[in-house]
Amino acid sequence: MNIWASAEFDDHEQVCFFSHAETGLRAIVAIHSTARGPAAGGTRFKPYDSDDLALDDALRLSRAMSYKSALAGLPVGGGKSVIIGDPAQLKSRDLLHAFGRYIDRIGQTYATGEDVGMSVADIETINEVTPYVGGTSTGAGDPAVHTATGVIHGLRAVLEHQFDRDSFSGLKVAIQGLGAVGWGIAERLDAAGAKLVVADVRAEQVERARAQFGAVECPTERIHEAEVDIYAPCALGGVISERTAAEVRARAVAGSANNQLTTPAAGIALAARGILFAPDYVINAGGIISGAAATSRMPGRAKANFAPLEEGLAAIRERLTEVFERSTAEGRPPEATAEVMARELIGR
């Protein structure tokens, strides 16, 4: 493992490695930037094939959090945590407390919250030993709800720019992943009259979507090829490669998953085919928007002003519209444009 040699290392300000033998905890916290304020970013709990992959994931995700917070106009920096291991086997109250005590050590520069493999209840358990967490039930609530709401606002920008329409009625959307956020997006699109194609590794979730929404099932490995208007990746990232970009039949790719593009070339391949890509760290910013205000109330933090939550979520539509318009004007893919905009905002 070599931090400096990682392709994902982008002059990260701080990278911490924590371990606790008694509970089996092995965690990495990556802090990309605090230029706009103390860093914030969730904790991902999952098994990795190697420690190098865990490190790369933490670095990649923390950089995206810097971009996400900056483009959302928040006085917040970017960071991310990963806990290495299978949460079904390893997660325990003692482990979460051990992790929380480590977070407490760096709480002046970083606060965490929910992500893949972690629940609101888990964050509340961590909150028992450190105040440097967000997204508890006593605060803004489950960030997944706000992420789903924000994605819907972002999808309206996609409708306007790519389809020249303002209604979801009759629109076909393929949703890959029916977790908390994906399900919330499905509920909102169904209520707005969209027709859904769904995929999930859990058969019971697919069956539930068929019963509740009249959704059409599609195999997980084929849903990117579905004959739909919008393909919405809402599970884990890395689903759009140069190969899969050539197989997408939708006119737009816009979902809640982080790091959907495996490489910049994948985004270029989408753009070359006239497929609009909504940069994930712009459209999925609802979670950090909902939790950011709580970070300024943490011990030792300077107070900051935040827009009302509903206003902050609605602004995702405006920011994506700005990205799409600048992308068209400057002749480069939306994700490249969004990165330039974010780096301008964080002074890089």
Residue 159 DSSP symbol? I
- Full DSSP string of 14-66: EEEEEEETTTTEEEEEEEEE-SSSSEE--EEEE--SSHHHHHHHHHHHHHHHH
**In whole angstroms, what is the distance from residue 93 CA to residue 124 CA?**
11
**In whole angstroms, what is the distance from residue 9 CA to residue 324 CA?**
27
Residues 46, 68, 80, 303: which is the catalytic one? 80
Verify whether residue 80 is a known catalytic residue: yes
Residue that the structure tokens 């982008």 belong to = 10
**In whole angstroms, what is the distance from residue 162 CA to residue 183 CA?**
24
Q: Which of 335, 123, 340, 322 is nearest to 237 (CA)?
A: 335
Residue 302 DSSP symbol? P
Residues recognised as catalytic? 80
